[in-house]
């Protein structure tokens, strides 16, 4: 899940991420296979595949799994997946973008609509909430790579747009079409990143209290459990107190 609460932008809750590691690896494998099918199977010659592999490594996905996913594309195996984006509203009118990769659009549409309805949300038309987000590249580094000034200078040199530094680490933003170039330059200066991906960055946020966040998490969890769903992004804004109480559950 991604939202608009500082580090929560691209960080999953650790407990849930560990619990669903096999499902996460499955989604990462699907992205790697699709990226390899769409372009060159060599990550150095295929920016999308390179990012997919970097993200898989950042999630500690075994090397064998990564190589198997690429070989599946080279061998012409696997289903023909279609990428479809769904947009809708969750509790308190929070905006939700759901990115899917499916071999059956009717099944996926039915499942996503049903989950929105069951969890108190509403599935909207394409574009209904997309205007509240900007498509951006996001590169994250651990705090140990350096202080805020060091990372800021490296980001400026790499052509990034913005940097958010906290005690937990550094989040570097860039234009979506610049991600491959910026991440490569950052890697040369700061080393391997923890995460490199394209995400939807909220430009308009919705303030959420504890009760609304609890409802939102049920929706997000249900969506993320669906095998066809790759990512779920929301534009929530929540206080540290609310996020802390949510994390204690």
Of 18-22, 107-111, 233-237, minimum mean pLDDT range? 18-22
| 200/176 Cα distance (integer angstroms) | 10
How many folded domains does the chain comprise? Answer: 1
pLDDT the model gives residue 102: 94
Res. 175: pLDDT tops 70: yes
pLDDT the model gives residue 44: 87
When mean pLDDT is compared over 7-16, 44-53, 166-175, the highest value belongs to 166-175
Q: Enter the pTM of the model.
A: 0.84
- The alpha helices in the chain, defined as continuous H runs, are 14-19, 21-38, 47-58, 63-74, 105-118, 148-158, 179-190, 210-225, 240-247
Any domain includes 236: no
pLDDT digits (tens, 9 = 90+) for 100-110: 999 999 999 99
Any domain includes 218: no
Under the banding of pLDDT at 50, 70 and 90, the label for residue 73 is confident
How far does CA 137 lie from the centroid of its chain?
10
pLDDT the model gives residue 249: 56
Any domain includes 192: no
| 61/33 Cα distance (integer angstroms) | 14
| 165/50 Cα distance (integer angstroms) | 25
Identify the domain containing residue 45 by its residue range.
6-74
3-class state of residue 181 by DSSP: helix
Please give the mean pLDDT across all residues of the chain.
88
pLDDT the model gives residue 11: 43
Tokens representing 209 are 């209290």
pLDDT the model gives residue 17: 53
Under the banding of pLDDT at 50, 70 and 90, the label for residue 19 is low
Let me know the angle formed at the C-alpha of 191 by 185 and 192, rounded to the nearest 5 degrees. Answer: 95
Res. 87: pLDDT tops 80: yes
Any domain includes 12: yes
The rounded radius of gyration (Å) of the Cα atoms in the chain is 18
Res. 7: pLDDT tops 70: no
Question: Residue 37: which CATH number?
Answer: 1.10.10.200
Res. 15: pLDDT tops 70: no
| 154/183 Cα distance (integer angstroms) | 11
Return the bridge partners of 88, or none: 96, 123
Nearest to 29 by CA among 60, 82, 81, 68: 68
pLDDT the model gives residue 245: 83
Any domain includes 21: yes
In angstroms, what CA-CA distances link 204 with 127, 131, 166, 188? Answer: 14, 9, 22, 34
CB-count burial class (<10 Å; 0-12, 13-18, 19+) for 202: buried
Any domain includes 165: no
Under the banding of pLDDT at 50, 70 and 90, the label for residue 247 is low
Any domain includes 37: yes
Res. 1: pLDDT tops 90: no
pLDDT digits (tens, 9 = 90+) for 136-170: 999 999 999 999 999 999 999 999 999 999 999 99
Any domain includes 42: yes
Stretch 179-189: mean pLDDT, rounded?
94
Report which of residues 234 and 14 the model is more confident about. Answer: 234
- The alpha helices in 81-178, defined as continuous H runs, are 105-118, 148-158
Percent with pLDDT over 90 in the chain: 70
Q: How many residues does the chain have?
A: 249
pLDDT digits (tens, 9 = 90+) for 121-137: 999 998 999 999 999 99
């Amino acid at each position: 899940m991604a939202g608009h609460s500082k580090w929560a932008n691209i960080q999953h809750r650790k407990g849930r991420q560990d619990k669903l590691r096999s499902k996460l690896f499955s989604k990462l494998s699907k992205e790697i296979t699709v990226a390899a099918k769409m372009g060159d199977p060599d990550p150095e010659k295929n920016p999308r595949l390179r990012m997919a592999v970097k993200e898989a490594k950042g999630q500690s996905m075994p090397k064998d799994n990564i190589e198997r996913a690429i070989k599946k594309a080279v061998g012409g195996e696997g289903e023909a997946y279609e990428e479809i984006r769904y947009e809708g509203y969750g509790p308190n009118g929070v905006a939700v973008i759901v990115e899917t990769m499916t071999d059956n659009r009717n099944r996926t549409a039915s499942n996503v609509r049903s989950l929105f309805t069951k969890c108190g949300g509403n599935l909207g038309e394409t574009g209904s909430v997309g205007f509240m987000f900007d498509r951006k590249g996001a590169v994250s580094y651990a705090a140990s790579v350096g202080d805020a000034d060091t990372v800021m200078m490296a980001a400026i040199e790499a052509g990034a747009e913005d940097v958010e530094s906290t005690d937990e680490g550094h989040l570097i933003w860039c234009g979506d079409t610049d991600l491959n170039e910026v991440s490569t330059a950052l890697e040369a200066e700061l080393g391997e990143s923890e995460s490199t991906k394209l995400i939807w960055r909220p430009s308009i946020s919705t303030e959420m209290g504890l009760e609304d966040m609890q409802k939102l998490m049920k929706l997000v969890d249900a969506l993320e459990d669906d095998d066809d769903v790759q990512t779920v992004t929301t534009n929530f804004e929540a206080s540290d107190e609310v996020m802390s109480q949510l994390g204690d559950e």
